[in-house]
Amino acid sequence: MKTVPEIDGKTGICGVMGDPVGHSVSPAMHNAAFRALGMNYVYLPFNVSAARLAGAVEGIRALNIAGMNVTIPHKVAVIPLLDEIDPLAQRIGAVNVIHNKAGRLIGGNTDAGGFLRLLEGRGIDAQGLQVAVLGAGGASRAVCFALASRGAEITILNRTAAGAARCAAEMAAFTGRAFEALEMNPANLARSLAKAELVVNATSIGMAPDVDKSPVSRELLGRRHTVVDIVYNPIKTRLMRDAEKAGAMSVGGLDMLAWQGALSFEIWTGRNAPLDLMRRAAAGALKSYED
């Protein structure tokens, strides 16, 4: 462990703004990384209401905050308040990271990159892979973008058929690939999981406190599937447990969470992030909330 500098006149400030942020694990994850690398930075939670979002963004400029993560419910609303949006974030339609580059605020998205790293880390080659993506919100779009860029064949299932169709049409326009769009009902789930090799839950179903819920009934899961749940609280979701019982490989949202954090860290500091340590810090913070 490196010597940790005291907070002083030169301390760089990063943070996360959202509402609520009281259970965010990002402060634990980033402060662990700063400490481990002996960097003179601190990462703080900022609880920002929707009504105060514009003021908070102006505050990043006024207070010269180095970098900020953006979380629910501000990932879309923050876009018009920034000076520049990188092309990936623009296409995904959501910003989860802001870089203060000499006073210019640049919005980016590390969820898509985080998901790609998760796949690579697990040795999953998406080329030609049949994938069922559940959900059509911001997280789903990041996942779809990542998978399409690697040549996957994607079916998007959403609570409403219209939501699935809108997401599929936009993703097709951005990636030049065809997407299938279906309403997420039992018949369509059965049909798409019969051909899917990879199943990704990008809905919030199964997130605490609804830990006994799963978007997919257990009989539909089998040995042929790899299941990725982007929900990370709880660390092991009902969907993951069911997948494992059915003989499938399952991956939880903690990997993607750690990766998006690591990529944010690298944008702000220009240094390689200590991924494993950040993942452990995030898991530790989650456990402490569970206890």
Element (DSSP H or E) covering residue 169: helix 161-175
Distance CA 192, CA 105 (A): 41
* Of 7 and 169, CB closest to ligand ATR: 169
156 near ligand ATR, rule: CB under 6 A:
no
* Of 18 and 274, CB closest to ligand ATR: 18
In the list 100, 203, 226, 237, the residue contacting ligand ATR (rule: CB under 6 A) is: 203
166 near ligand ATR, rule: CB under 6 A:
no
- Residue keyed to tokens 């505050």: 59
204 near ligand ATR, rule: CB under 6 A:
yes
CB 19 within 8 Å of CB 77 = no
Determine the interface stretch with ligand ATR among 31-39, 155-163, 175-183, 262-270 (rule: CB under 6 A). Answer: 155-163
DSSP string for 24-59:
-SHHHHHHHHHHHTT-SEEEEEEE--GGGHHHHHHH
135 near ligand ATR, rule: CB under 6 A:
yes
Closest CA to 29 of 214, 273, 208: 273
160 near ligand ATR, rule: CB under 6 A:
yes
**CB of 8: closest distance to ligand ATR in angstroms?**
37
**CB of 136: closest distance to ligand ATR in angstroms?**
4
159 near ligand ATR, rule: CB under 6 A:
yes
Give 150: exposed, middle or buried? Use CB within 10 Å, 0-12, 13-18, 19+. Answer: middle
* Of 18 and 135, CB closest to ligand ATR: 135
Number of residues that bind ligand ATR (CB under 6 A): 14
CB 201 within 8 Å of CB 134 = yes
136 near ligand ATR, rule: CB under 6 A:
yes
DSSP string for 185-198:
-HHHHHHHHHH-SE
150 near ligand ATR, rule: CB under 6 A:
no
CB within 8 Å of 66: residues ≥ 6 apart: 12, 13, 14, 41, 100, 268
Active site residues: 75
Residues that bind ligand ATR (CB under 6 A): 135-140, 158-160, 163, 202-205
